[in-house]
Amino acid sequence: MSAEYPLGVRVGVALAAFVSLWGVLEYGHFESLYQRQTRDPYLVAAQFPRFEAFRAATPDNAVLGYFTDLEPGNVAAESMFNTAQYALAPRILRKDTAHDLVLGNFTKPGDFTGMGSEHGLHMERDFGNGVVLFRRNVP
């Protein structure tokens, strides 16, 4: 059984298929240009070498506290947290300082010892480039 469709229907279907394929090609071209211009806007790839020594100093199964010098809730702070979580997986980061080990993830140099003291932490090691390992003070 075969059905015979009017010429207008066949032309319409062919035109729709052509426009769809053309759209796919245009999208691929646009996406390729976009990716070349904005390779890694959140610098995710740069976080792996930045956290390399921190990863070596903390167990894979660790649940770590986290704090930063950025205002909580803004896009930059959320991006820093998410990229750190991604780079440090399978370790788990929690946005608080109530853990034995805490990651300090900073955007600029500062008094990291003083910042840690404000949260009941002492600085165990400064890995450079804004990455600091803190340990909870034992009462």
Q: How confident is the model at residue 19 (pLDDT cuts 50, 70, 90)?
A: very high
Could you tell me whether strands 131-136 and 121-128 are parallel, antiparallel, or unpaired per DSSP bridges? antiparallel
Length of the chain: 139
Q: How confident is the model at residue 33 (pLDDT cuts 50, 70, 90)?
A: confident
pLDDT digits over 37-93, tens only? 877 777 888 899 999 999 999 999 999 999 999 998 899 999 999 999 999 999 999
- CA-based nearest residue to 88, from 133, 135, 30, 40: 133
Q: How confident is the model at residue 13 (pLDDT cuts 50, 70, 90)?
A: very high
Provide CB contacts within 8 A for 133, sequence distance 6+: 54, 57, 58, 101, 102, 103, 104, 123, 124, 125, 127
3-state SS class at 40? coil
pTM above 0.85, yes or no: no
Residue 32 has pLDDT above 80, yes or no: yes
Residue 35 has pLDDT above 90, yes or no: no
What's the pLDDT at 92? 98
pLDDT digits over 99-112, tens only? 999 999 999 999 99
With 0-12 / 13-18 / 19 or more C-beta atoms within 10 angstroms meaning exposed / middle / buried, residue 64 is: buried
What's the pLDDT at 139? 66
